[in-house]
Amino acid sequence: MFKNLKSLFVVDDGNDKQSQNDDSPKDKVDNSNIPPQNSNQGGNSIIKVDQPPLKDKVVSNLDKTPKNTDVPASIEMYNGQVNDKFLKVLFDAMENANLDGFDYLEFRQSLQSLKNIPMDDATRYQSALAMAQTMKATPDQLILSAKHYINKLSDEEKKFGNAMKGQIDQKVGNRQNEVKTLEEQIKQKTEEIKKLTTEITQHQQKISETQAYISEATLQIEMRRKDFLVSYQKVVGQIQQDIGNMETYLQGKTKPKPPTTDPNKGNK
């Protein structure tokens, strides 16, 4: 049934190289594999519109990028492509919702049967209606049944949107929360580093000031030590001189003569 419904809406372009299961999200996306898109290229399949281009663009709730996601800029070059797995989901929904009797699906099949006959769109639709009328179908019924399938497909869109939201919450949201936590930690540690850097600078300044004080204090102490030593030697030397003079002049002790040295006679 999938092939039958696909043949009513989609025509294979002969480049069906994509895996049928290649639509699941990947943990890593190689942006280099994203091909540039244009109106004449799709992917493994393209929709061949056998009527004038739609006046109004099909609006989907999935047209906008989900909030709270950071999509790589390069993905904007990628316009998406028709995927058989998603087509099967949509066609299965249509098949399960198939109405009894001649409805839009059978009318669509009638249109397809006339696609190779040279005629304009108005004639082709009127011819398909003529076949539909033999099955008691009316234009109002056909339009109503077509809207019925749009509603069913819209339900599938909502299901996919909910599933996608779950994937975003699971694979993206949690990671975004992790990023926010890490950013907060980085901010906190950056503030701590800034505070520690300030304290280190202050300590280094204190060290410089203390070392200058130590040098100055050491200089003052050394100067005082030498001043004291000279003063001590001056006073003690004077006292020793007085002791010697008192022993000589007051006690009658003679001062020992210093030995003389005659370089020619030797010591006496």
Confidence of residue 68 (pLDDT cuts 50, 70, 90): low
pLDDT at 224: 94
Amino acid 53 reads P
The confidence band for 54, taking pLDDT boundaries of 50, 70 and 90, is low
Output the six-digit token pair for 254.
Answer: 């003679």
List the domain boundaries for the chain.
2-17+39-48+73-188
CA distances from 255 to 49, 241, 248 (A): 141, 12, 6
Q: How far apart are CA 147 and CA 250, in angstroms?
A: 146
Distance CA 249, CA 229 (A): 30
What pLDDT is stored for residue 70 in this prediction? 66
**Distances, alpha carbon 121 to alpha carbons 107, 114, 237, 259, in Å:** 14, 10, 136, 149
Task: Quick: pLDDT tens for 15-35.
Answer: 544 444 444 444 443 444 434
pLDDT score of 202 more than 90: yes
- Looking at residue 192, its amino acid is E
Predicted TM-score (pTM) above 0.75:
no
Residue 191, pLDDT above cutoff 70 = yes
Q: Does residue 112 contact residue 27 with C-beta atoms inside 8 Å?
A: no
Say if residues 74 and 34 touch (Cβ distance below 8 Å).
yes
Is-contact 104 145, C-beta < 8 A?
yes
- Is residue 94 within 8 Å of residue 152, measured between CB atoms? yes
